[in-house]
Copies of this chain bind each other. A is one copy, B any other.
Amino acid sequence: MIVGQRIRRPDALDKVKGSALYIEDVAVAGALVAGVLRSPHAHARIARLDVFAARNLPGVHAVLTAADIPGKNLIPMIQNDWPVLAEGVVRHVGEAVALVAAEDREALAAGLAAIKVEYEKLPPRLEMEEALAAGEILAQWKVRRGEAEVALGRSDVVVVEGTYHTPYQEHAYIEPNGMVAIPEGPGVVVHGSMQCPFYVQKAVASALGCDLSHARIVQTVTGGGFGGKEDAPSAPGAQVALLARATGRAVRLILTREEDMAVMSKRHPGRIRMRTGATRDGHLVACEVDYLLDGGAYATLSPVVLFRGTVHACGPYRVPNVKVDARAVRTNTVPSGAFRGFGEPQVVFACESQMDRLAERLDMDPLALRRINALRAGDETITGHRLTTSVGFDEVLDKVAEASGWESKRESFPSHSGLVRRGIGLAACYYGVGLGAMGKHLNPAGASVVVSADGSVTVAVGTTEIGQGMITVLSQITAEALGCPVELVKIMDPDTSRVPDSGPTVASRTTVMSGNAIRDAAAKIRAAMEPVIADSGLNWRDAVLLCVTKQVGLAAHGWSVPPTTTFDLETGQGEAYICYSWSANVVEVEVDMETGETRVTKVWSGHDTGRVINPTTGEGQVEGGVLQGLGYALVEEHMLRDGRILNDQFSTYIIPTTLDTPEIKAILVEHEFPWGPYGAKGLGETPIIGVAPAVTAAIHHATGVHLDRIPATPERVWAALRARSVEGG
């Protein structure tokens, strides 16, 4: 069986050799270079926008403003509030005001410089609490289950309360956003770095006013996404397409790192107030959550990011009384958007910090508290979703506890003293796989499978390889489903002309959805082959040859529609997702009591992700997710002044390097999900979600201080240590 094998990534060689062609490497002969004139203000009226001089510069081929858009000045997203180019008003620093296409970089710079814009500054709203007070609410959701307030008031209930703050996080993909558009017929072909070709397609077709079939989008090799290339690339996609149509030439728009960091989406900053109550023997009784996200200037994906945080707000536990109120607000900052974890890391930081505090208050081991309350098959989530199958949380907890030597370390570490203290912390989470109740018509996915006469197989899907290992995993699923050697499978670059809209490459849905679509197509092909090959015992190549000789057509489109979920948005009750992955991290730290510096020495990261199609890519997902989670926990945050991001380079926005990387032990637990391909669920996001609270729990274990804000920078840890010593003193 090829599923479950550690085959080498088919795309590895080109990537390590440097021969993979990223969009910057794709040389399109005669392509113009494009740039975007961007707002320097967080909020202003455009009093005058004069492009006459710029248009007449030598080497400048097009200067476009909102008035020059033949279709709609709109990037279609949930609330349709996001313009391709600012029209009358700019609402965040870096918002696109005008586009220039020019012969070369010099002409481009001259063209951008020659555009005359006069702004009348308007008062910006920069803080989310301020926006909330002003009623600038982009989206709101709630969960109502039992009577949370009543339960929290009960005399037998111990309540902990906290307010937590989480920062912006930068996706820090290795490749900035970039697109090349080539005019074709009445439309364009756009090649570029992205997660979601069908999102870009909608944006391009909308801006050009053309049919979707004439907005053909092809994903090039993409240097990381992490959600940052989910919604955000629709903007450069539409922009470069407009310039290609306006000039009749191929046009390249590649963002600089600084530009990309300054204006593309980020993880939503969050503020979470939470009250958690349990009986003295550790049974959770109620949880009340007030969850606030800063959506930035446009809604983009804030409603669905908020939704996922809302329904997962109390962690993977049985909580009979729940009240969650979640809101995303509009501010004059860069739009926040999709980011690995998608609204969960913020609320899970709060929720799991609460569990840690509750354990302390109850004088219980934090792991024991989790075990008491862990969701199991037969239980209901806080949305009333009764879990029937593939609930491996218990086993995950057991495995990480055992592997990490949890019990002995929890006991022995506090006895240490000295400048560097050791601690071990734990945090858990669960994650609804796929788009779930909010997905609607984006839920399904397609695949086209074509078998050549020599038995080699060409597969097209609508989801993308963004480093996560899709090509590897789908090759294995194809080989398994067809019964062919995996070396014969070729996964094509995603191309919107090959399959119907297959939704986005997000939400850990790719293995399950594209995998099942491939299985559907493969089953049709096998059904066509069987009458011909019968019990011939032929190997794959010979079987295909026989079928070709017999004129059997070996191609099929497959389609995957997930099981129906029902959900009531008024009460927040129902099946939020088709199934869940389960995760727990144990993190071991050393904290320098003098500097506040935290060094993570080891992480045990356990996940029930159903059947693991490829353990190596699975472990890779865990290692990458944990490291990104450590960045979130310890070092990553954006500094803003007047709505402008001040740290827009990797020299000022710090992410973990190899030297900061601890040993990460991935532990994969396989509670198969019957509907998933060969029992698989999803693994893209759980590795990042529960890292930060495990780090802060470990810091607490080492030092005794609770942190209610991340990143846990040395300054912040030092300040907490100092505050405690002052209190203590």
Contact = CB atoms under 8 A, between A and B. Distances in A.
A116 interface: no
Contacts of A212: 452-454, 456
Contacts of A456: 211-214
Interface string A34-67: 0000000000000000000000000000000000
Contacts of A446: 553, 555
A630 B451 CA distance: 44
Contact of A499 (B213, B500, B550, B555): B555
A548 interface: yes
Q: Which of A28, A441, A451 has the most CB of B within 10 A?
A: A441
Contacts of A100: none
Interface stretch (A84-92, A162-170, A239-247, A490-498): A490-498
A518 to B, nearest CB: 13
A394 B352 CA distance: 88
Interface stretch (A227-235, A398-406, A556-564): A556-564
A444 interface: yes
A555 B553 contact: no
A415 interface: no
A726 interface: no
Interface in A418-454: 440-441, 443-444, 446, 448, 450-454
Interface in A207-258: 211-214
B214 A453 contact: no
B500 A554 contact: yes
Nearest to A26: B29
A458 B555 contact: no
Contacts of A492: 497
A458 B212 CA distance: 10
Given A452-B213, A454-B212, A490-B214, A444 B498 contact: no
Contacts of A78: none
Given A444-B553, A551-B441, A557-B556, A501 B211 contact: no
Contacts of A450: 497-500, 557
Contacts of A205: 454
Contacts of A551: 441, 443-444, 561
**How large, as a class, is the contact surface on chain A?**
35 or more
Contacts of A550: 441
A77 interface: no
Interface in A532-568: 548-551, 553-557, 559, 561
A316 to B, nearest CB: 29
Contacts of A453: 212, 441, 500-501
Contact of A559 (B211, B488, B498, B553): B553
Contacts of A30: 27
Contacts of A727: none
A570 interface: no
Given A212-B456, A488-B213, A498-B498, A559 B549 contact: no
Contacts of A213: 452, 456-458, 488, 490
Nearest to A561: B551
A189 to B, nearest CB: 11
Nearest to A202: B453
A660 to B, nearest CB: 35
A524 B409 CA distance: 62
> Which 6 A-B residue pairs are closest in the complex by CB-CB distance?
A553-B559, A27-B29, A213-B456, A211-B456, A212-B452, A29-B29
Given A213-B458, A444-B553, A492-B497, 13 more contacts: A27-B29, A29-B29, A211-B452, A211-B456, A212-B456, A443-B551, A446-B553, A450-B557, A452-B500, A500-B554, A501-B548, A551-B561, A553-B557
Interface of A: 14, 27-30, 185, 205, 211-214, 440-441, 443-444, 446, 448, 450-454, 456-458, 460, 488, 490, 492, 496-501, 548-551, 553-557, 559, 561
27 contacts: A27-B28, A27-B29, A27-B30, A28-B29, A205-B454, A211-B488, A212-B452, A213-B457, A214-B456, A214-B490, A441-B548, A441-B550, A443-B551, A446-B553, A448-B557, A450-B499, A450-B557, A453-B500, A458-B497, A499-B555, A500-B553, A500-B554, A501-B548, A551-B561, A553-B561, A556-B557, A557-B557
